[in-house]
Copies of this chain bind each other. A is one copy, B any other.
């Protein structure tokens, strides 16, 4: 049984395809899942924005419970849309009736702290407690204020009544899949809800889950955040690799990735090897799934398997796109063997809660990303001070970083070593229970590309949709 993330609508209209998988491995019903699905994202968005409206209303109110200093409010709004124009905005204009002006912005809904909270909540009362713990800003005396101070958590949780229920769907072959929660792994924690994972574990012998993007993002966060909070410990780790990706990391241009090029692959293999080493740092030997593409040549697949063997990493070719479950028999055997081992590997955390905040960030940056050092902008340094002042120094870390590179620069491929990571600012997710150092230029609200996919999406009078994959 699989426990996976729900897709976000935002990228659907941009350049990314949908998120239901392809070929024989597809999850159904594709269109509904890629559009509004069961409304979970809309409910999360509404709960998030209700808090924003309550904050601005409290600032404007005549005799509020608390006197929020509008200059300190950190809570933004969210929209499940790739909309760069909303990244930085001024609200409250148009005269006294419309409130105090504030600089703020929108993140994409997948990056909402409410999304993160839903992913970690163990019950409705836990959900409410976490929602109430959201840090919103300070009063004029400098005291921190939380969502509970303006009595927001009850109404927010009410809006999440249905969203907190996992959604059961199935693959084309009829395998059950729980889709629940949808944080991105570059800008958020990148994995589905704890509730869905535990529900799946209560119903199936083996539960497969996904930790988005590469292991340095989704993997690290799954192990250091989700497992830390939920007390989970994976029995096996699968790293999905493709011949194409190795060639890309070996320096081959994007447009030429379908041509055979074993030297480029060999060069790119170091990238895969590093992810494998990283997995080992969490105490678990990974298994490589070679996700076969039609353009892969036998020589390429063979070379890759050879290198894995040489490096002491178990690997199997998977052809689920073309053949469904049947195409993953070997891989499944490897994974089941690992899971069934008499002495299962024991997952360990990369850092302890009690470590200093900068040391935790440093652990991830130097051990996983392999950066030489971590720089902080003065904004980030102020944020660190605020985190200490709020007594949140014990929280674990959820770094926002580009998924295209080990570094914070999307253009640096392969296995860079001589680089530093710059933390631009640190968002506080006190309710979710982590802080979000933002590395480099990564944006928590994406933009649309020059020619957005939306231009090609259509529906006819029979309700038949085209252009949505």
Q: Judge whether A402 is part of the interface by a CB distance below 8 angstroms.
A: no
A63→B89 CA distance, assembly (Å): 25
Decide: A161 near B465, CB < 8 A? Known: A56-B83, A88-B94. yes
The answer to whether B161 and A454 have CB atoms under 8 Å apart is no
The answer to whether B49 and A79 have CB atoms under 8 Å apart is yes
| Chain B residues, CB < 8 A from A43 | 36
A424→B154 CA distance, assembly (Å): 39
Chain B residue nearest to A90 in the complex (CB)? B90
A460→B43 CA distance, assembly (Å): 18
User: Nearest Cβ in chain B — how far from A378, in angstroms?
Assistant: 6
Q: How large is the interface on A (under 10, 10 to 19, 20 to 34, 35 or more residues)?
A: 35 or more
The answer to whether B455 and A125 have CB atoms under 8 Å apart is no
The answer to whether A46 and B81 have CB atoms under 8 Å apart is yes
| Chain B residues, CB < 8 A from A36 | 39, 42-43, 46, 159, 162
The answer to whether B99 and A102 have CB atoms under 8 Å apart is no
B49, B61, B93, B124: the one contacting A90 at CB < 8 Å is B93
8 A Cβ contacts from A138-192 to B: 150-152, 154-155, 157-159, 161-162
A151→B467 CA distance, assembly (Å): 13
B39, B93, B124: the one contacting A89 at CB < 8 Å is B93
Q: Judge whether A35 is part of the interface by a CB distance below 8 angstroms.
A: yes
Q: Judge whether A463 is part of the interface by a CB distance below 8 angstroms.
A: yes
The answer to whether A465 and B158 have CB atoms under 8 Å apart is yes
A377→B379 CA distance, assembly (Å): 11
A158→B53 CA distance, assembly (Å): 29
Q: Judge whether A128 is part of the interface by a CB distance below 8 angstroms.
A: yes
Q: Judge whether A60 is part of the interface by a CB distance below 8 angstroms.
A: yes
Q: Judge whether A333 is part of the interface by a CB distance below 8 angstroms.
A: no
A458→B159 CA distance, assembly (Å): 10
Q: Judge whether A340 is part of the interface by a CB distance below 8 angstroms.
A: no
The answer to whether A450 and B63 have CB atoms under 8 Å apart is yes
Q: Judge whether A98 is part of the interface by a CB distance below 8 angstroms.
A: yes
The answer to whether B161 and A35 have CB atoms under 8 Å apart is yes
Q: Judge whether A256 is part of the interface by a CB distance below 8 angstroms.
A: no
8 A Cβ contacts from A359-377 to B: 375, 377
A95→B74 CA distance, assembly (Å): 11
User: Nearest Cβ in chain B — how far from A442, in angstroms?
Assistant: 11
A93→B9 CA distance, assembly (Å): 24
The answer to whether A154 and B459 have CB atoms under 8 Å apart is yes
The answer to whether B101 and A84 have CB atoms under 8 Å apart is no
Q: Judge whether A54 is part of the interface by a CB distance below 8 angstroms.
A: yes
A93→B71 CA distance, assembly (Å): 10
Q: Judge whether A295 is part of the interface by a CB distance below 8 angstroms.
A: no
| Chain B residues, CB < 8 A from A35 | 158-159, 161-162
The answer to whether B158 and A458 have CB atoms under 8 Å apart is yes
B49, B70, B81: the one contacting A53 at CB < 8 Å is B81
8 A Cβ contacts from A74-122 to B: 79-103, 105
User: Nearest Cβ in chain B — how far from A409, in angstroms?
Assistant: 10
B39, B97, B101, B378: the one contacting A102 at CB < 8 Å is B101
Chain B residue nearest to A104 in the complex (CB)? B85
User: Nearest Cβ in chain B — how far from A242, in angstroms?
Assistant: 30
| Chain B residues, CB < 8 A from A60 | 84-85, 447
8 A Cβ contacts from A449-469 to B: 450-452, 454-461, 463, 465, 467-468
| Chain B residues, CB < 8 A from A69 | 96
The answer to whether A458 and B84 have CB atoms under 8 Å apart is no
Decide: A90 near B92, CB < 8 A? Known: A36-B162, A81-B49, A377-B377. no
Q: Judge whether A233 is part of the interface by a CB distance below 8 angstroms.
A: no
B85, B154, B440: the one contacting A99 at CB < 8 Å is B85
8 A Cβ contacts from A212-254 to B: none
Chain B residue nearest to A9 in the complex (CB)? B46
Report 5 cross-chain contacts, Cβ distance below 8 Å, ordered by A residue.
Answer: A42-B42, A52-B83, A53-B85, A69-B96, A84-B92
3 closest residue pairs by CB, A with B: A154-B458, A88-B94, A101-B101
Known: A35-B162, A85-B102; 4 extra A-B contacts, CB below 8 A, are: A36-B43, A71-B100, A88-B92, A152-B455
